[in-house]
Structure 1
Amino acid sequence: MSEKAEVIVYSSTHCHYCGQVKNFLKENQVDFEERNIDLDETYAEELWNTGMRSVPVTVIGETNILGFNQTALSKALLTLKENS
């Protein structure tokens, strides 16, 4: 990717909640970059450096959201849209 993605989902291969986050974003027609920590150690390191220790973590702009929280995801996406 040449530009920095505005929405990034840190996930792992067998994570149920990761699937829910990705489905929510797809249903809301939000483009996102998935970073699977099982497939790339660099992504695991990036996640660790955010202070988060589990997945999913969704990064929307400057906001990190742990787990599948529709309210927090919707609010952060609205803020991102308003600021772009």
Structure 2
Amino acid sequence: MPRELSVVVWSKEGCHYCDEVKKYLKEREISYETIDVTNKDEWRDILQIKYNVRHVPVIEIGENNVYRAVTEVGISHLERVLNTEEAKL
């Protein structure tokens, strides 16, 4: 059975960049889980503690509960981390 990356997209309603990330992942047929932080400041607090950011999208990519986060906005940042993590599989 091939290993698969776990992908989590932290997003909010009305976020164009978040929608762009989800569209990109769907096009590449990469399954992902969404954490919607709309009106949930306590979840943004988690992002602040984990990654020192409060903005979305934040994309967590990894396996076996070891994640690497993409906090920079732009598909090129996501592609770079995805390619690196997929190469490890």
Following superposition, which runs of at least 4 residues in structure 1 exceed 4 angstroms of deviation?
39-42
Would you say how many aligned residue pairs link Structure 1 and Structure 2? 80
**What's the TM-score once normalised by structure 2's chain length?**
0.73
Identify which of 72, 78, 84 aligns with 2:77.
72
* TM-aligned CA deviation for residue 44 of structure 1: 3.0
**What's the counterpart of residue 16 of structure 1?**
16
Q: Supply the distance in 2 between the matched residues of 1:56 and 1:18 (Cα, whole angstroms).
A: 5
Taking the aligned partners of 1:11 and 1:45, their CA distance within structure 2 comes to 14
Q: Deviations over 1:14-51 (max 9, x none)?
A: 11111001101111111111100126566334322221
Query: What fraction of aligned residue pairs are identical, expressed as a percent?
Result: 29
Deviations 1:24-79 (A, max 9, x none): 11111111111001265663343222211101111112322225422221121112
RMSD value, Cα: 2.1
State how far apart, in whole Å, the 1-side matches of 2:79 and 2:41 are.
Answer: 29
User: Which SS does the other structure have where 2:54 is aligned?
Assistant: coil
TM-score normalised over the length of structure 1: 0.77
CA contact (8 A) 1:10 1:43 kept: no
* Secondary structure in structure 1 of the residue aligned to 2:47: helix
Pair member with larger Rg: 2
Task: Give distance in 2, aligned partners of 1:78 and 1:34.
Answer: 21
Aligned AA for 1:17?
Answer: Y
